[in-house]
Amino acid sequence: FDTTKNQYAEEITTLQGKLDKVASEDRSREIESKEWEEAIKLSKEETQKLQEEVERLELALKNSKADCEALQGEMEELTQAFDDTAIREKQESDGQHEAFKELLATRSREVEELKEEMNNLADTNSSLTKMLKDTEEHVKKEHAEIVKQKQEV
C-alpha cells in the first residue's frame, strides 16, 4: 500500500509541477498579450495622429494650390493689362516714348514680383507634397509593422 501511495505521490508531484508550469506560461502569455494590446493601442493613437497630420498637410497643399492658381490668374490679368497698355501706348506714343519706358519698367517689375511669388508658392507646394508623401510612407511602414507584429503573435 505504501509503495502505491508513494508512486501516486510522485505522480501527483509531477502533475502538480506540470500544472504550475502551465499556469506560469499562461500568466506569461496573458502579460505578453496585454503588452501587445498596449502596443497596438499606442500604434493606433500614433496612426490617428499621423492621419490627422496628413489631413492638415492635404488642406495646406490644397490652399497652396488655390493660392498658386489665384496668382496665375492675377499674372494673366496683369499680362493682358500690360499688353493692352503697350498697344494703346504704342498707338499714342509719338511724343510719349519716355512715359512708355516708365510704364514698361513698372509692369516688368510687377511681373517679376509676381513670378517670384509664384516660384515661392511652387517651392512651398513642393515641400508640402514631399511632407505629405513622407508622412504617407511613414503611416504605411507603421501599419506594416503592426501587421507583422500581429502575425508574429
Q: Is pLDDT of 139 > 70?
A: yes
Res. 95 pLDDT band, cuts 50 70 90: low
Average pLDDT score over residue span 127-147: 91
Q: Say whether pTM exceeds 0.85.
A: no
Give, in degrees to the nearest 5, the angle at Cα 135 between 134 and 136. 90
Which of these, 92, 86, 128, 127, lies nearest to 107 by C-alpha position? 86
Q: Nearest Cα to 62, choosing from 123, 128, 130?
A: 128
Instruction: Please state, rounded to an integer, the average pLDDT across all residues of the chain.
Output: 88
How high is the pLDDT of residue 53?
A: 94
pLDDT digits (tens, 9 = 90+) for 32-87: 999 999 999 999 999 999 999 999 999 999 999 999 899 999 999 988 988 988 88
Given a cut of 70, whether residue 94 has pLDDT beyond it is no
**Cell, residue 139:** 503611416
* Residue 1 scores a pLDDT above 80: no
Residue 93: is its pLDDT beyond 80?
Answer: no
Mean pLDDT of 128-143: 92
**Residue type for 61, please?**
L
In the predicted structure, residue 99 carries a pLDDT above the cut 80:
no
